[in-house]
Amino acid sequence: MRLTLQHLSAIAGGTMTADRRSNMQSILAGLAAMGVQVGLDRPQRLSQYLPQLAHESGRFRYDVREDLGNTPARDGDGKLYMGRSGIQVTGGDNYRGFRDWCWAAGLPAPDFEREPDKVNTDPWEGLAPIWYWSTRNLNRYADEGNIEMVTRRINGGTNGYADRLVMYERTALVLLGRKLEAGAVRRFQEEHGLIPDDIAGPQTRGAMHDALGKLPVFVFGDAPALPAPPIVVPEKPMPAPVVVPPTVPTPAPGAPLTAIQYLTIIEAATADLRKHYGA
């Protein structure tokens, strides 16, 4: 299955604005660039990654979060290294860390310490969350379905934990191909032998995690369309032309080749190569 803008829009809910669309497209671009390399194409991991981004970014509206700026500290940064990108990279150390990770990977990233605003430009806007996720080895908790530990490693505590659980529920249902409508959780519970109370508690989330583990990996980015096969019209077989190999006179020992002899030898060798390699 291919992850699309429609998936992210369904997870976030609400009205699609130009800014939200741009932010979602950046997240998709980051996954297309590095998602497979860091293992986020596995549904159990992707289902943990996306809800954390959705919460951290205010449902992919992170450009308007004014509550994540640095406070004036000893270094005098003020809001220089305020929260940016879907994971809200904050603080000079993280800006340097992201820059160094990009450079070590051979990516021509700007010096984010000198130009922090460049974090919120493509493709870095979508790569910053992947850097944070991979350098904290959050896949190990995602593989266990451990939402609390993923949250603690991202947040430093459990701020907004209830909303992160809601976003996980929405993400799991969307990635499982279910509509986010009234009774969606209850129907999932009924199909998996759980108490159908329509509440996504620990057992229901565990069943969602197991169901996601049975899905094939996700595909990121747009695959080029395959051209339609050409229509082949059979023709009457034509007799093969009779090719008479050129006669190359053998020069006397030590005598230089004439221009005609040299060209004839080159043409014969080229014909042999084409015949051997099917060119």
Q: What is the pLDDT of residues 8-61, one digit of tens each?
A: 999 999 999 998 999 899 999 999 999 999 999 999 999 999 999 999 888 888
From CA 92, how far away is CA 97, in angstroms rounded?
8
What was the pLDDT predicted at 237? 55
From CA 41, how far away is CA 239, in angstroms rounded?
54
CA 12, 17, 23, 24 torsion-angle sign: positive
* 70, 82 Cβ separation under 8 angstroms: yes
178 SS3 class: coil
Q: Enumerate the domain spans of the chain.
A: 5-213, 247-279
From CA 103, how far away is CA 109, in angstroms rounded?
7
What was the pLDDT predicted at 122? 83
What was the pLDDT predicted at 120? 83
What was the pLDDT predicted at 239? 59
* 10, 50 Cβ separation under 8 angstroms: no
What was the pLDDT predicted at 263? 46
Q: Does domain 5-213 have CATH number 1.10.530.10?
A: yes
Alpha helices in 83-197 (DSSP H): 92-104, 124-135, 139-144, 147-155, 161-175, 184-191
In which residue are the tokens 């803008």 written? 5
From CA 104, how far away is CA 123, in angstroms rounded?
16
CB atoms within 10 A of CB 25: 16
What was the pLDDT predicted at 124? 87
What was the pLDDT predicted at 231? 40
Residues in the chain with pLDDT values less than 50 = 64-76, 78, 223-234, 243-246, 248, 257, 259, 262-263, 265-266, 269-270, 273-274, 276-277, 279
> What angle do helix axes 43-56 and 5-12 make, rounded to 10 degrees?
60
* 164, 51 Cβ separation under 8 angstroms: yes
In which residue are the tokens 């369904």 written? 10
Say which amino acid occupies 59: R
What was the pLDDT predicted at 93? 79
What was the pLDDT predicted at 69? 42
